[in-house]
């Protein structure tokens, strides 16, 4: 027999390793640096790709790393802004 579903609040996402969390998305609400860092990342990836003689993978890897770094920076700035607003 199956369990009866509890009616009430919507289900929160649960990860057994880290516990409950509210925000499922790792993207910032206003991604500014995420898309700015794509170009420098792609340029660095191009240079690395030329060095290892695989330009396409270098460009892709550089662009992905640029997006990742920009996302981390945006998310950090967003948390910092929320902390400052919380203190006021």
Element containing residue 14 per DSSP (H, E): strand 14-15
The Cα–Cα gap between 76 and 28 comes to: 9
The Cα–Cα gap between 8 and 25 comes to: 23
The Cα–Cα gap between 7 and 23 comes to: 22
Per-residue model confidence as pLDDT tens digits over 38-60: 999 999 999 999 999 999 999 99
pLDDT of residue 46: 92
**DSSP 8-state symbol, 31:** -
The Cα–Cα gap between 71 and 18 comes to: 21
Maximum average pLDDT range among 33-37, 64-68, 84-88? 64-68
Which SS3 state, helix, strand or coil, does residue 67 take?
helix
pLDDT of residue 21: 56
Q: What are the tokens at 57?
A: 């993978």
Residue 8 contacts by C-beta under 8 Å, 6 or more apart in sequence?
none
Per-residue model confidence as pLDDT tens digits over 3-34: 666 565 555 666 566 665 555 566 777 788 88
């Amino acid at each position: 027999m199956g369990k009866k579903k509890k009616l009430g609040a919507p289900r929160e996402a649960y990860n057994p390793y880290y516990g409950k969390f509210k925000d499922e998305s790792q993207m910032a609400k206003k991604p500014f640096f995420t898309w700015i860092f794509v170009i420098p990342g792609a340029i660095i990836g191009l240079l690395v790709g030329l060095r290892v003689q695989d330009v396409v993978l270098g460009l892709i890897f550089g662009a992905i790393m640029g997006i990742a770094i920009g996302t981390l920076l945006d998310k950090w700035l967003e948390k910092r802004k929320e902390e400052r607003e919380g203190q006021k």
